[in-house]
């Protein structure tokens, strides 16, 4: 899969204030787009609309890639950015911190959705296996004694 991608381009070299502002601005724009997309995904997950939340995966991947490339360019030009655009660099740091909070909320919502899904599947499986367990007293008088029959495998359809 990685072989199909082009080799990474070297980070652009910042030599003027305008280039510094342009670099930080492009990274901030990418970050804002990614943050908005994560907020939409989180809202869909909270409402239980899993398919809607997953529908933006390709766009999220593109925005994430662009953001990471932008961060690499910022790291490569950290000294020049601090010299030419210190205020913009502070705005980027603040935006990155805010983005971290959005990612954290998204991860919590994803973990909750995963736990709920696992709980539902386990409940269905337990219910299906309950009918295959022996219902009665065993030879020593213990209720439900004996070896339960193995349950049928649980099959899920993703095309409901």
pLDDT of residue 122: 86
Structure-block tokens of residue 10:
């070297």
61-114 pLDDT tens trace? 999 999 999 999 999 999 999 999 999 999 999 999 999 999 999 999 999 988
19-42 pLDDT tens trace? 999 999 999 999 999 999 999 999
pTM for the full predicted model: 0.71
Domain ranges of the chain: 15-121
Mean pLDDT, to the nearest integer, of 139-155? 61
54 membership: H or E segment, kind and range = helix 50-54
49 or 135, which is more confident? 49
pLDDT of residue 3: 46
38-58 pLDDT tens trace? 999 999 999 989 889 989 999
pLDDT of residue 14: 82
User: 3-state SS of 118-137?
Assistant: HHHHHHHHHHHHHCCCCCCE
| Distance (Å) of CA 67 to CA 30, 49, 64, 135 | 6, 26, 5, 59
pLDDT of residue 124: 82
pLDDT of residue 151: 61
């Amino acid at each position: 899969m990685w072989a199909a991608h082009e080799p990474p381009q070297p980070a652009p070299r910042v030599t003027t204030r305008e280039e510094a502002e342009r670099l930080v601005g492009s990274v901030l724009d990418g970050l804002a787009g990614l943050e908005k997309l994560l907020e939409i995904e989180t809202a869909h997950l909270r409402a239980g609309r899993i398919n809607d939340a997953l529908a933006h995966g390709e766009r999220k991947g593109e925005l994430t890639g662009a953001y990471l490339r932008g961060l690499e360019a910022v790291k490569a030009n950290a000294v020049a950015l601090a010299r030419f655009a210190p205020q913009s660099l502070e705005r980027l740091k603040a935006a990155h911190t805010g983005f971290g909070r959005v990612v954290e909320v998204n991860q919590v919502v994803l973990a909750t959705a995963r736990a709920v899904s696992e709980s539902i599947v386990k409940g269905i499986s337990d219910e299906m296996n309950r009918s295959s367990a022996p219902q009665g007293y065993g030879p020593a008088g213990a209720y439900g004694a004996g070896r339960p029959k193995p349950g049928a495998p649980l099959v899920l359809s993703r095309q409901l």
